[in-house]
Structure 1
Amino acid sequence: MKYFEANSPYARDIAAVIHPHTHLRRHLETGPEIINRGQGIFVHDEQGRQFLDAAAGLWCASLGFGNERLARVAYEAMKNLGYYQIFRHTSNAAAIELSERLLALAPCPMSKVLLQCSGSEANDTAAKLVWYYWDAVGKPEKRKIISRRGSYHGSTTVGVCLTGKPEFHAGFGLPFPGFLYTDMPYYYRHHVEGESEEEFSTRLAASLEKLILEEGPETIGAFWADPVVGGSGAVLPPKGYFEKVQAVLRKYDILFVADEVICGFGRTGNMWGSQTFGITPDILTCAKALSAAMQPISAVLINERIFEGMLIQSDRNGRFVHGYTYAGHPVAAAVALETLRIYDEIDMIGHVKAVEPLFLDSLGALAEHPLVGDVSGCGLIAGIEVVADKRSREMFPASVGLPAKLEANALKHGLILRHVGNRLAFSPALIITPEEIRDLAGRVKALLDDTLVELG
């Protein structure tokens, strides 16, 4: 096989590279799919085959897979100041301007920005700030953090603890004590017969309050939520959910951290998922589309309440002892700034709103397919639930190997998508055109048809 030809990139990969979220032993037998070129929403592999990437990489390539303008900005920034840190009163122009821009874009009044290098780092840092704040105001016992089952918030140690998916914990001895999980707002999968979305939301808010009371409100520091649950395949919140949840949090003085790593910068049809779903966070984390995935950068936005606590701690301890070597990197910050300028120039939010109906209607039409139980989405993010039985919502057993069949049939039709168990998630580059949306939907129908035949 080609993978084992001497000095081939496939053999070299097997010999040297560990791949995240990969069956490591199987990889030694199959080798990688090597992507060597990309433009717009398409990528090409080592053999020259073209694929429509319906996931924008890892939800992040908002401007597609090649952008000469951002490449030039990175080049000029690197020539001028290839690196400098922002520790101990030092700064750089790009970090300053980017922070100002993010505060201007924030979905609610925010006070300061802490630049980081990845979404995982941003969420990890936000957790530290929650603990830092409560210690500052004399309530260090408020350390427990509640997130949702089925959510994903990063791959750092704390990020994995925030993540409500047991497969991320297995083998690592995680989560640490103090991380709690409440119900995922997955109406299609978890509502009871005859229960409306509003009633489902009321039940989940009551369940959250019950958990808080059982644990002790005086021990709960924060609630973590992504506006759309990306980690479970783009699950949208039911009607009234965040309104009811926030009322519970306010009642017990619990901070709200909005994980906007996936949803931020236009994905849901607004600049922030918080705007789409009526969330007013105390802390907001963002990454991915901040630089259109062209540079590793993220940010944590905090309100004045949190910053006042940080000032108290800085006075008490002599300084704010936290930071990453590459935080506020001048090249990454310059690329992120230019990305935000491009969004403005091409009216990215307006474009997403303009193509949203076609995107949702094209995928929504697949709800008639025998394998499809549900289709939901907003902006340019959507999920399709693949089921064995539409009436009962019964899922295929693991022995069927549904995810492998879906992935193989997608690749056969030149399509890269994200599947989470029996659910297909879609988050194409935000620049996708109407013609490309129709192309995408056609490929999805073809892969579903082929999978149906295989399943008999």
Structure 2
Amino acid sequence: MNHVIPNSVQARDIASLVHPQTNLAAHLDIGPQVFTDGSGITITDDSGETFIDAAAGLWCASLGYASERLARVAYEQMRKMGYYHLYRHTSNENSVDLAEKLLQIAPPAFGGQMSKVFFQCSGSEANDTAIKLVWYYHNAIGRPNKRKIIGRKMGYHGSTTAAISASGKADMHADFGLPLAGFLHTEFPHYYRDHHDGETEEQFSQRMADALEALILDEGPDTVGAFIAEPVMGAGGGLIPPRGYWDAMQKIIRKYDLVFIADEVICGFGRTGSMWGSQTYDLCPDMISCAKALSAGMQPISATLLNERIFQAMLDESRKLGNFAHGFTYAGHPVTTAVAMETLRIYDEMDMIGHVQKVGPYMQSVLAKFAAHPLIGDVRGVGMLVGMEMMAEKTNRIPFDPARGVGRIVDRYARKHGLITRFIGDRIAFSPPLIVTEENLDEIAKRLQAALDDAHADIRAQ
């Protein structure tokens, strides 16, 4: 910590803040990188160094890092009415407008269309709400034992207690006493790493569906209530589902009458080239959770969308109990809903889906070339989301020893060359702001090439 100037922002940070998803011991020594300004797809730190952010922060800065228009909407709403809640028959027009818009653009749901919207502040809360609604639904229809929730190994659905229990991330369970009982995890559908010799993508997908069915049968179908998954696994390293995967999985979900929660927190609002990842992969969920790009990351807001069969059961139970006893202080906040609604207007005006459909293939082609790099074993992607897999030995798909921290090494060199990526173990995910241009992507590729070359030389020298 000798390099940290006393009373600087870095020193004050070390003295006062606990950082999420951070090595707290290392942080005491190295301190934070403090960012001060952003514009478009770039962000600048307090030393004046500017970076291209190829990760959109945490997948969310879809419109980049500053918006006069969204700032004005937030300001005007704060002047008019800075807060009120949705409890006990109260409302505000911004929440109604946003709920209507979300239902208008929602993908098909199981049994028809999405019927209602419930607001929260984060994707974690949206998934927690969905999980609670699974339990509420099954209680309402007389199946109280159908409580178990199945997620996927390496899946991520948030940091709240239920959401992280549904996540298949052992490092995020360690020493928290998690996952909670009743949360199960089926196989990680990583065709590149885990397919058998000669096994096609379709055969691999069927094996994944068979594994889900075996887990349900082993636990007892009358005890399993829901399956939760992202259309594309973000924290799994930008993992694209193999051919036939979702068809096979949905057959099992419906065979055993599970509630299907589509976690669209990353995929929603254009990332995959459709408004929803569910549309890209022909999913028909019972509930959808969304956040992040809902407000372009500029206000904390999320939504849980539910179909009519879920809502009708909620309605029946509410009549019986006299109340639907779930909610959040800031749910439907008039400022956050105003900003989210304006964000969706901007997407419409910019034809953001059309932009992703036009520029996304260029992004895929530019980054696919890195499959030839000595460090990279696999490149996969859809829309404006790409995952890269680093391998110690590419031919036989032998990964690096995790202790070597190859992903961290690449990240360090990327930042040296003015590029921010999202490394997840030895996987790199790219999800730039949706406003990215072909010229921006050329520059990202140039900086990535330099970073990978430097990292490769460093790793070979070890």
Secondary structure at the residue paired with 2:331?
A: coil
The 5 A counterparts of 1:325-340 are 325-340=329-344
User: Quick check: 2:405–2:426 contact (8 Å CA) kept in 1?
Assistant: no
Amino acid paired to 1:330: P
Alpha-carbon distance in structure 2 between the residues aligned to 1:345 and 1:270: 16
User: Quick check: 2:290–2:304 contact (8 Å CA) kept in 1?
Assistant: yes
Q: Deviations over 1:172-230 (max 9, x none)?
A: 00111100100111111111111111010011111111111111111110000000111
Question: Does 1:279 find its partner at 2:283?
Answer: yes
The 5 A counterparts of 1:22-421 are 22-108=22-108, 109-421=113-425
Change (3 A) 1:86 1:451: same
Alpha-carbon distance in structure 1 between the residues aligned to 2:405 and 2:119: 41
User: Quick check: 1:3–1:31 contact (8 Å CA) kept in 2?
Assistant: no
Root-mean-square deviation (CA), in Å? 0.8
Amino acid paired to 2:11: A
**Percentage identity across paired residues of the two chains:** 57
The TM-score normalised by the length of structure 2 is 0.98
Secondary structure at the residue paired with 2:114?
A: coil
User: Quick check: 2:407–2:428 contact (8 Å CA) kept in 1?
Assistant: no
Secondary structure at the residue paired with 2:199?
A: coil
Secondary structure at the residue paired with 1:374?
A: strand
Q: Deviations over 1:382-436 (max 9, x none)?
A: 1011101111111111332312211110111101111111100000000001100
Amino acid paired to 1:310: M
Aligned residues: 456
Amino acid paired to 2:191: Y
1:371 to partner: Cα distance: 1.0
1:443 to partner: Cα distance: 1.2
1:445 to partner: Cα distance: 1.3
Alpha-carbon distance in structure 2 between the residues aligned to 1:127 and 1:56: 27
1:312 to partner: Cα distance: 1.1
Secondary structure at the residue paired with 1:231?
A: coil
1:3 to partner: Cα distance: 4.8
Amino acid paired to 1:231: A
Secondary structure at the residue paired with 2:457?
A: helix
* 1:14 corresponds to: 14
Decide which of 452, 456, 461 is 1:452's aligned counterpart.
Answer: 456
Alpha-carbon distance in structure 1 between the residues aligned to 2:220 and 2:116: 31
1:4 to partner: Cα distance: 3.0
Secondary structure at the residue paired with 1:268?
A: coil
Q: Flag structure 1 segments of 5+ consecutive residues without an equivalent.
A: none
Secondary structure at the residue paired with 2:208?
A: helix
User: Quick check: 1:149–1:165 contact (8 Å CA) kept in 2?
Assistant: yes
Alpha-carbon distance in structure 2 between the residues aligned to 1:3 and 1:332: 39
Alpha-carbon distance in structure 1 between the residues aligned to 2:218 and 2:21: 35
Q: Deviations over 1:344-401 (max 9, x none)?
A: 0000000000001110000001111111110000000010111011111111113323
Secondary structure at the residue paired with 1:342?
A: helix
Change (3 A) 1:318 1:18: same
Amino acid paired to 1:198: E
Q: Deviations over 1:73-118 (max 9, x none)?
A: 0000111110000000000000000000000010011110001110
User: Quick check: 1:264–1:272 contact (8 Å CA) kept in 2?
Assistant: yes
Q: 402-411 or 196-205: which moved more?
A: 402-411
Q: 391-400 or 30-39: which moved more?
A: 391-400
1:2 to partner: Cα distance: 7.2
Q: Flag structure 2 segments of 5+ consecutive residues without an equivalent.
A: none
Alpha-carbon distance in structure 2 between the residues aligned to 1:399 and 1:241: 32
Amino acid paired to 1:94: N
Amino acid paired to 1:46: D
The TM-score normalised by the length of structure 1 is 0.99
Alpha-carbon distance in structure 1 between the residues aligned to 2:21 and 2:208: 31
Amino acid paired to 1:78: M
